[in-house]
Amino acid sequence: MSAVPAPGAGFAGVRYEDALGRARELVPKLRERAAAAEVERMMPAETLADLHRTGLLRVLQPKRWGGMELDFIAYLDFSEELARGCASTGWNAGNLLIHHWMLALYDEKAQQEVWGENPDALIASGIAYPQGSGKKAAGGFAVSGRWNFSSAVNIADWNMLACLVKEGDKVVDHRMCLLHKSQYEVVDDWHVLGMRSTGSMTVVAKDVFVPEHRALRAADLRGGVPFPGARGNPNPIYKVAFSAMAAHGIGGVAVGNAQAALELSIEAVKQRSTSYQALKMRDIQTVQLRIGAAGARIDTAREILRRNCHDAMQIARAGAEADAPTKLRFKRDLAYAAQIATEAVDLLHAMAGANGIYDGYSIQRIFRDAHALGGHFSFNTDAQLPAWGLAALGGENFPPTL
């Protein structure tokens, strides 16, 4: 078993391999809890306690606040590993840990207000800028909006909510506004096909004042550029382009979920013979084909995402900002990786035959989770692949938040 610090201790001295080992050790427990978590539609208290105890939500938090401050690829690796046990847990953990990373970019005063009070504080988000509106006010902004898909909001202490700042009808800025849970309403509308225990409910705020230091500009998230928290957090990991890499962790969830389907399918095939023939399933060529095809897709998806993380870190260490074609390549690759991970799950679910329709069959849940998480905009190949294609062809019509 990996050593875990005593309650209340920081995690600044934890090595990457040890932390990943803690995630791996949780996988059997997460698989056991997954079905009940679906019914409750939220992360089990035992799982949240495990994540706090092991520090797995603080792998990207600055060391000076007690975090591990690991390389950016931890966002991918830890989300993927936890998703092998439960896709919803991996998804929530990925979101919660990347928000610690994001808070490191905010003004020091905002960091102090959150981590000074509680370094374990959970932060949710609503990332669609058009869903929020902000108006300039003395010392900050008046924020209103309705943000859906705010994962883990039912257990979070804070929320980072995206807003378009307008002067009249003109958009003049894009901000990620940090609100305390006392400043917004959570609407319990998370009744969905899959990913049920993420608690990705809707958040509503009305004319909430957000001071300037809690309203991070989208321009500060582009990577390689000065940002308010840079003086206290100079590590290159905080210079990675959020605009291009923000969803790579949840891309890792697609891979981890598919990996779980592969592992469980292999286990089932080894144990079973078909109901209608005297053959063992492993001796049926089409079964072998599906296992092989799924494995190839999963490994390919993983390597694509890992390459992007390494490339993004290399750019950040050089103190540079990735150009638009590179950022769009990262986003293209993410969507493609999620697509082929979903294809792998589909291959394996179909192989289950009639067993695949039962609620008690774990791959049925994995299948639903794959298609539920696959609806995320970052995984939409219709949106992400043409954007890179335009850049490759010399186009320059890129979104202002890129």
Q: Is residue 337 part of a domain?
A: yes
Percent of the chain with pLDDT over 90: 90
Whether 143 is in a domain gets the answer yes
Torsion sign, CA atoms 146, 152, 156, 161: negative
Lowest mean pLDDT: which of 50-54, 120-124, 141-145, 269-273?
Answer: 269-273
The whole-number pLDDT of residue 9 equals 56
- Establish if 21 belongs to a structural domain: yes
Task: Tell me, yes or no, whether 227 lies in a domain.
Answer: no
Given a cut of 70, is residue 103 above it in pLDDT? yes
pLDDT digits (tens, 9 = 90+) for 339-348: 999 999 999 9
**Range in 52-56, 301-305, 356-360 the model is least confident about:** 356-360
Q: Tens of pLDDT along 338-390?
A: 999 999 999 999 998 888 898 988 999 999 999 999 999 999 999 999 999 99
Taking the CB of residue 247, how many other CB atoms lie within 10 A of it? 25
Among 217, 233, 263, identify where a domain stops.
Answer: 217
Domain boundary among 115, 149, 180: 115
CATH number at residue 198: 2.40.110.10
**111 is a domain residue:** yes
Same domain (yes/no): 203, 290: no
User: Is residue 167 in some structural domain?
Assistant: yes
Q: 217: Cβ–Cβ under 8 A, 6 or more apart, which residues? A: 173, 174, 175
Question: Residue 399 falls within a domain, yes or no?
Answer: no
Tell me, yes or no, whether 30 and 141 share the same domain: no
pLDDT of 31 above 90: yes
% of the chain at pLDDT higher than 70: 96
Query: Above 90 in pLDDT, residue 293?
Result: yes
| 38 domain-assigned | yes
pLDDT surpassing 50 at residue 2 = no
Is the domain of 110 the same as that of 127? no
Query: Mean pLDDT over all residues of the chain?
Result: 95
Task: Give the structural domain span for 110.
Answer: 16-115
pLDDT score for 1: 44
Rounded to an integer, what is the distance from CA 71 to the centroid of its chain?
Answer: 16
Same domain, 110 and 129: no
Query: Would you say residue 274 has pLDDT above 60?
Result: no
* Top-confidence residue, 358 or 51: 51
The 10s digit of each residue's pLDDT in 62-88 is: 999 999 999 999 999 999 999 999 999
Cα atoms found within 13 Å of the Cα of residue 325, Cβ hemisphere only: 7
Q: What is the DSSP string of 335-392?
A: HHHHHHHHHHHHHHHHHTGGGGG-TTSHHHHHHHHHHHHTTSGGG-HHHHHHHHHHHH
Same domain, 289 and 367: yes
Same-domain status, 137 and 181: yes
Number of separate domains in the chain: 3
Q: Which residues is 185 bridged to in the sheet? A: 204
Does pTM surpass 0.85? yes
Q: How far apart are CA 165 and CA 172, in angstroms?
A: 6
CATH number for the domain spanning 346: value is 1.20.140.10
Note the pLDDT of residue 276.
59
**Which single residue is written with the structure tokens 């791959």?**
363
Tell whether 189 and 299 lie within a shared domain. no
> For residue 399, what pLDDT band results from cuts at 50, 70 and 90?
confident
- Tell me, what's the pLDDT at 203? 98
Tell me the pLDDT tens digit for each residue of 107-157: 999 999 999 999 999 999 999 999 999 999 999 999 999 999 999 999 999
**Do 274 and 375 fall within a single domain?**
yes
| 273 and 373 in a common domain | yes
pLDDT given for residue 6 in this prediction? 42
User: Is 396 a residue whose pLDDT tops 90?
Assistant: no
> Same structural domain for residues 265 and 369?
yes
| Residue pLDDT, tens place only, 14-23 | 999 999 999 9
pLDDT of residue 4: 45
Confidence label for 273 from pLDDT (cuts 50, 70 and 90): low
Residues 131, 95 within the same domain? no
Task: Check residue 360 and give its pLDDT.
Answer: 87
Which of 183, 217, 251 is the endpoint of a domain?
A: 217
Q: Give yes or no: residues 171 and 251 share one domain.
A: no
49: CATH: 1.10.540.10
**Longest CA–CA separation in the chain, Å:** 78
How would residue 207 be classed by pLDDT, with cut points 50, 70 and 90?
very high
Q: Are strands 170-180 and 158-167 parallel, antiparallel or unpaired?
A: antiparallel
